[in-house]
Structure 1
Amino acid sequence: MIDAPAWSQDGPVAGAETETGARRGLSIFSKAYFDQFSPVTALDMVQRIPGFSVSDGDTSRRGLGDSFGNVLINGRRPSNKSLSLDTVLQRIPINDVERLELIQGAQPEYNMRGHARLVNIILAPGAGNSGSWDARLQYSPAGRLGPRGIIAYATVQGPVELTFGLDTGTSGNRIRRRRALQDASGAVLELQRDNDQRQYREAVPTLSLNWTVDDRSTLRFDLQGTVWDWHRNQTSFVDAPAGSGVAPLRYEQNQTGNHGHSYQGMVTYSRDLTDAISIQTMGLVNREMWDDGPEAYETYDPVIGYLGAIIVSSTGETEETALRQTLAWTADARHTFEFGAEIAVNARDTGLVLFEDDGTRITEIILPVANTRVEETRSEIFAHHTWTVSDRLSVESGLRYEFSEIVQSGDFQQSRSFAYPKPAVTLNWRQDDQNRLRVTARRDVDQLDFGNFASVVDIADNNATLGNPDYVPQRTWTLEAEWVRQFGEDGSVSLQVGHDWIEDLDGSVPVTTPGGVFDAPGNIGDGTNFRVTADLTTPLDGFGVADAVLNIFAEWYKTSVEDPLTGADIPFAAVREWEFGLDFRQTLAAQQLAWGWDYHWVSDRRVFLAQEQRLHNNTDGDLDLYIETTRWGGVTTRLGVDGLLNNGDDRERVFYAGSRAAGVVDAIEHRNESSGASWYLRVRGTF
């Protein structure tokens, strides 16, 4: 087994004392605890810890500081922005795991990095030189088979551990759409039927190297690549009411493809300078390139034939390079400090070409900000302090200050500079062995979506979105409290209440050009978000259902922002009012069987645009069922069905004559989109 430092990325600081037990907020889960779930890899085990959800950190935020996950291996973080926790944990066979520890509340030897809880996987002596595999065959309503396979193997050679992985597969689903277009009085103008057949293929190889250089230093290297290819063939039949029936109005056809590749690499060097001081250096390189089209939307008359087409072609490339240096100091048994700096360069090149073919000639349609490059250079300094006030109380505090410059070139040229302080403080209080309270106050700055700086078109929805060079990152002040209670060996309940004050909320703003009124991504003003989240995991033996576990998740949001067109309060476009989920599993040990189901349901969502309003409705929720066994060949075999209640998602679009603020309805479109239920057979094992 490779020594713990080989997993190094962000582990216990030098000189910190390691204590366990309830006094330090540590719950231990033996390997036998997970037998009822028939785990194959460490990921299966972690996902079954009551009240815990795997998180990679917020990779959508800026730089490396927020992209640390909430799972440790032998006390050290194994994941980073180039390698997800799911990928890492899928590569650890269950035979290599000795036990799991649930860490609740800030500990001097562990940097929580904003997470309320951490899971620490303790590897068994001699772990390594082992592998896992996962094979899946999915049958879609289109009658297509989609195979997928994952294989991973780790080998230990002295102080070096190498882990190889490959995730590859194909999928092919068919989406059916039904559309009805009405005028303002409700009279039907058009009826449309879409048959949208898709096929997707990808391969994701990974490589990790962990090297214990000496007693005080470690080196870790992670590399992941992705190659993908996506195709779509869509046919649409549009009819018009005629008497008691319908008459063909037009026929539309669309064929397109998307292909690309990406790679992410990260290196981490850690060294203990003394028993109390350690340093860590991290470097990241991330590149992605893609090519869309040419995508032709062709229109045919049932009598005349070909009428014309709109042709779209686009290319893109993103770049991210980052360097982070930290110094950790354990001042004494109660105080630990971390200081450091980070610099990152992010960029995106986008090219978009749009043509109109009228059957006689092809004419280019000029869109503003269609070809552009956006580059951000960002630097940050930070300090973090963990104070263990007592066995029951700890306080985490920190301050980050970032400076950034955004330069846009191409169709639009502009340069802007920003500076943002980002303070944070978290109080963790353990009332007793069962109850814990966490209160957090912080300021966040969201990662810029560089796609918002460039124009895009959606021919299927007859919609163009202009790039917005004046877009700025959204900032949020948050006050949040969470109460967690554990009961018995398998039970956990948590309640989280939070309030967000958001500056320059991301949204859609109207832009008037000589070609008409368009929507553009932008900042629509300041808004608020009050939210309540509840999570319950409980065994059902007390309800007469033996060896069964139920998880209930519910979340409610109350969002508000001033409509830039009407001045009225409206909800956030990207946030639904509520979300609800159930997850049930029962183990029948004597029969070597288990079965379960999960159900997920979300509320409606409204989107407000310059000349349009949309209502999205998730009609019946998502129900998945499965049954699995371990009785054949020592492997876990599962048969399941996803989307059993899939009657489609509804969408209503209300089009206005002129500005939405005037309220004059021009037309209404109703659409139902469904891909149906899909069956799968999954077999997993270790070697």
Structure 2
Amino acid sequence: MKNAAALAALLAMTGVAHAQSPPGPEAPGPGGGGESPAVPTSPQEAGAPTAVDGRVTYQPDFFAQYTPQTALDMVRRVPGFSIDSGSDRRGFSGTAGNVLIDGGRPSAKSQGLQDILGRIPAKQVVRLELIRGAASGEAAGQSVLVNVVRTASAGSGRYEAEAEISDSQRISPRGELSYNGRIGQMEFTLGADRYMEQRPLGGIRMLRDGQDNLVGARSDWTPRTYREANVNGAISTPLFGGTFNFNVSGGRENFKTALESQGFTVAPVSSVVSPAGPTVVAVPADSFRLSIDDRNRERELSADWERRFGDLTFKLVALDTREWGGNDESTRVRDNAGATAAVVSQRTRYESSESIARVSASWAVAPSHRIEFGGEGALNTLDAALSLTEDLGAGPSPIALPAANVTVEEERFEGFLTYNWKVSPRWTVESGVTVETSTISQSGDTTASRTLTYWKPNVQVSRQIGTRDQARVRLFRDVSQLDFGDFVSSATLADNTVAAGNPDLRPQATWRLEGVFDKRFGENGAVALTVAREWIEDASDLVPILDPRPGAPIPIYFDAPGNIGEGEVFSIRLTGTIPLGAVLKGGQVKVDLNWSDAEVTDPVTHRTRQISGFADTEANIEFRQDITAMKLAWGFEFYKRAEVQFFRVGELETYEEGPLMFGFVESTAIRGVKMRAFVENMLDSEFKRERRFYSPDRNGADQSIT
């Protein structure tokens, strides 16, 4: 099946307007202050990175060759660093990404790090600090960070306009506006953006029997449209001797598609034989049309207040997020003559919320000792309803599913303590522990309640090697975030499958031991090798669950998200930034290569296998050349990952895509406005999916293949 956009060409224009602004005070680094790292002062040193105590400092001159317009442009060019917007770990700090702004993490959760960085003008950035090891301060769960240090600005605006044309031959406009200003001592940011995609998806489904004989086919064509619009605002002002920040954001998105699928039966023509085998003839058969209208709205309010009391830094954070959404799907099946044979409809509605309150304190006990402690409380809720009907000609009749109408609520509390100790100029130790308890209750079609308690220790030892290189060893326990949608049943009409809600779902817990060697060379060369071993408890995967409804007519097993016991993962990751100046002036290659081996025990076959949805190899390679004299840059990105599989009760589903490649050319030669054109899926790669069915389950023989 072809990729969503076999060829997508885009042209973007980005500009920045600045008001003259006097230099302002710099924000302290992570951890509430202390001595600032050494920065170059002489002209000869300007732009060259410096390394002190696990921090590599990059001045704005270092990024001048890339003509950055925002902090995002600068962070993306930090050698050996890739932006991590956050993971599914539990807790407010656990979902943090690996970028700090003025020594602290943004209190907003729904706004991505890249969106926030994209609203900071490059001229506001005083320096970037790459922080490795225990020097990372408040960055829970991250061993490598970038801290963006800014100066005050009187006013600066940014605009971006973009248009895409894909196989649909329709133009999809996109745009973004943001403005940073100052009123007295209060700084503010306003922003808005709009995004649109119109990318059709077409392909052929080949239907085979258990002996791999071709018995049918389907031709699919799926025009798809996605729209998204967001607004945001933020203020920062002195308050009660500290700094108060307030953020507000809201947005909506909508996805629509209409799949047209024409079926064919095939039969061999015995009189015509080719070297590949008998020729077959395709006869039109049934067809169906699937329409989907998926939409949601979201708003978020967050605030934080921070103040220093001598050696103690105190911080309060509050956050509230609300989301409303729904989905309407309908499938109309037509027989060989084109008459309607059946109509299946699905309607879902949901409302979710998350409220968090957090208090923390950082105490610089001595120059070589720092303690952080605090607590957090959170309330998460989901109210979801699903209705599924089938009309075979006599009118719609409901299809009953377990856990179709459910309310889920989680109350969670945690306390944490970390201790950072700089043993010597070369050795640093960071240790800590978090204890959390949560009560999850469920009502509606299914009723359940349980209390879970987890302790999450963490210890990391860092060793400086010379002035720039570093080795780190870390052991920690991680607990994943539950997706409340997994408690509610859902149907996929296009695949004729049902995913049941699982009231017994538990978070996956993982012990991880990792070692990292981080080497720097030249001005912008960096390589990091990570070797890790993980031991998983309550591994998250797909499990068979029996229809839990009382009086179910026959035993029915559903596929559902669940826990399948213990598992292990061994992984190796190589990342790096390799300058090519010796052979290609201004050239640079960034690599991110991953290999892993994961093992769990299959709950159906009881044999060892891969984790569902887990790719054992993944490669991302970026090339870029900046031709400074021409104010021009060009490059490409290559991505490939191994196939992934999903193990259901009676089905093995396999996905494979790529390799994918896109290229770009950008210039700032016209009045400093960045013009960028790029092409996606340059290799016209395919997306392949195979569904292999078994009876009565995956212990049985192949029955059919799609």
Q: What TM-score, normalized by structure 2, do the two folds share?
A: 0.90
Partner-residue secondary structure (3-state), 2:486: helix
- Shift, 1:654, TM fit: 1.1
1:184-218 deviation per Cα after TM superposition (whole angstroms, max 9, x unaligned):
1222222101111111111110111101125x311
Q: Displacement, 1:431?
A: 1.3
| Matched position secondary structure for 2:134 | coil
Q: How far did 1:490 drift?
A: 1.1
Q: Does 1:561 align with 2:600?
A: yes
Higher mean displacement: 283-292 or 90-99: 90-99
Whether 2:446 is the aligned partner of 1:412: answer yes
Evaluate the alpha carbon distance shift between residue 410 and residue 5 of structure 1 in structure 2; reply closer, same or farther with a 3 A threshold: farther
- The DSSP-based 3-state class of the residue aligned with 2:485 is helix
Cα 1:2–1:665 change in 2 (3 A) is farther
Alpha-carbon distance between aligned partners in 1 of 2:291 and 2:562, rounded to the nearest angstrom: 31
Residue of structure 1 aligned with 2:368, choices 328, 334, 354: 334
Whether contact under 8 Å (1:23, 1:391) holds in the other structure is no
Cα 1:422–1:507 change in 2 (3 A) is same
1:267: Cα distance to partner?
0.7
Taking the TM superposition and a 5 Å limit, the aligned residue runs for 1:283-302 are 283-293=318-328, 295-302=329-336
Q: For structure 1, which segment, 413-422 or 509-518, has the greater mean C-alpha deviation from structure 2 after superposition?
A: 509-518
Which of 235, 239, 242 in structure 2 is aligned with 1:209? 235
How far does residue 163 in structure 1 lie from its aligned partner after superposition?
Answer: 0.3
Asked whether the equivalents of residues 80 and 575 of structure 2 are also in contact (C-alpha less than 8 Å), the reply is yes
Query: Does 2:300 correspond to 1:256?
Result: no
Q: Give me the whole-angstrom Cα distance separating, in 2, the residues matched to 1:605 and 1:635.
A: 42
* TM-aligned CA deviation for residue 418 of structure 1: 0.9
2:74 aligned with 1:41, yes or no? no
Equivalent pair of 1:300/1:306 in contact (CA under 8 Å): yes
Out of 497, 501, 507, which is 1:473 matched to?
507
List aligned pairs for 1:608-623, cutoff 5 A.
608-618=647-657, 620-623=658-661
Instruction: Give, in whole Å, the separation in 2 of the partners of 1:222 and 1:589.
Output: 38
* Contact 2:502–2:560 (8 Å) recurs in 1: yes
Q: Does 1:12 align with 2:52?
A: no
Asked if the contact 2:209–2:215 (Cα under 8 Å) also holds between the matched residues in 1, the reply is: yes
Q: How does 1:469-548 map to 2 (within 5 A)?
A: 469-513=503-547, 514=554, 516-542=556-582, 544-548=583-587
Match of 2:392 among 358, 364, 368: 358
Candidates 403, 407, 417, aligned match of 1:369: 403
Alpha-carbon distance between aligned partners in 2 of 1:19 and 1:596, rounded to the nearest angstrom: 34
Indicate the SS of the match to 1:32.
Answer: helix
Match of 1:75 in 2: 103
Which residue of structure 1 lines up, in the alignment, with residue 283 of structure 2?
247
Aligned 8 A contact 1:25 1:103 in 2: yes
Q: C-alpha deviations, 1:476-522, integer Å up to 9, x for none?
A: 01101111000000100000011110001001111233363221111
Q: Separation in 1 of the partners of 2:646 and 2:586?
A: 44
Q: In structure 1, what is the equivalent of residue 313 of structure 2?
A: 278
- Is contact 2:27–2:150 with CA below 8 Å preserved after alignment? no
Whether contact under 8 Å (2:632, 2:666) holds in the other structure is: yes
Shift of 1:79: 5.1
The letter of the residue matching 2:238 is T
Q: Distance in 1 between matches of 2:296 and 2:149?
A: 38
Equivalences, count: 658
Amino acid at match of 1:230: F
Share of identical aligned residues, percent?
33
Deviations 1:583-608 (A, max 9, x none): 00112223222110000000112221
Q: Which residue of 2 aligns with 1:320?
A: 354
Q: Residues 622-660 of structure 1, C-alpha deviation per residue, up to 9 Å, x if partnerless?
A: 100111111112111011101112332111111012021
The alignment partner of 1:179 has SS state of strand
| Paired amino acid for 2:517 | W
8 Å CA contact 1:73, 1:122 repeated in 2: yes
* More divergent stretch after superposition (367-376 vs 590-599): 590-599
Could you say which residue in structure 1 is the equivalent of 2:550?
Answer: none
Give unmatched runs, 5+ long, in structure 2.
Answer: 1-20, 39-49, 270-279, 548-553
CA distance in 2, matches of 1:572, 1:74: 39
SS in 2 for 1:646: coil
Contact 2:621–2:637, Cα closer than 8 Å, also in 1: yes
- After the TM superposition, which residues 107-186 of structure 1 pair with which residues of structure 2 at under 5 Å, given as runs? 107=135, 110-124=137-151, 126-186=152-212
1:541, CA displacement in angstroms? 2.1
Give the superposed CA RMSD.
1.9
Aligned match of 2:276? none
Which residue matches 2:383?
349
Separation in 1, partners of 2:653, 2:292: 26
Q: How far apart are the structure 2 equivalents of 1:4 and 1:579?
A: 44
Change (3 A) 1:4 1:476: farther
Could you list the structure 1 runs, at least 4 aligned residues long, displaced by more than 4 angstroms after superposition. 1-8
Kindly tell me: are residues 106 and 188 of structure 1, through their superposed partners in 2, closer, same or farther at Cα, counting changes over 3 Å? same
Aligned partners of 2:509, 2:23: CA distance in 1, in Å? Answer: 41
Q: What residue identity is the alignment partner of 1:88? A: I
* Deviation per residue, 1:544-582 (Å, 9 max, x gap): 212100112110011001111122110111210100111
Cα deviations by residue, 1:275-331 (Å, 9 ceiling, x for unpaired):
1112111111011110111x2100112325111111111111111011111122111
Q: What secondary structure is seen at the aligned counterpart in 2 of 1:630?
A: strand
Aligned to 2:254: 229
Partner secondary structure for residue 429 of structure 1: strand
Counterpart of 2:628, as a letter, is A
Contact kept, 8 Å, 1:583 with 1:599, in 2: the verdict is yes
Partner of 2:218: 192
Counterpart selection for 2:123 from 84, 95, 99: 95
Cα offset, 1:341, TM superposition: 1.0
The CA distance in 1 between the partners of 2:650 and 2:114, in whole Å, is 42
Quote the residue 1:675 is aligned against. Answer: none
2:551 is aligned to: none
Alpha-carbon separation, structure 2, partners of 1:536 and 1:49: 11
Give how far 1:75 is off: 3.0
8 Å Cα contact 2:133/2:460 also seen in 1: no
Please give the alpha-carbon distance, in whole angstroms, between the structure 2 residues aligned to 1:415 and 1:640. 52
Structure 1 residue 267 and structure 2 residue 267: aligned?
no
Residue deviations 1:16-63 (CA, integer Å, cap 9, x gap): 3334363422322222221222211110011001001122333x2222
Instruction: Check 1:256–1:107 CA distance in 2 against 1; reply closer, same or farther (3 A cut).
Output: closer
1:133 Cα offset (Å): 1.3
Q: Distance in 2 between matches of 1:107 and 1:408?
A: 42
- In structure 1, the residue matched to 2:702 is 665
Contact 1:491 1:539 in 2 (8 A): yes
SS in 2 for 1:541: coil
1:451 aligns with 2:488: no
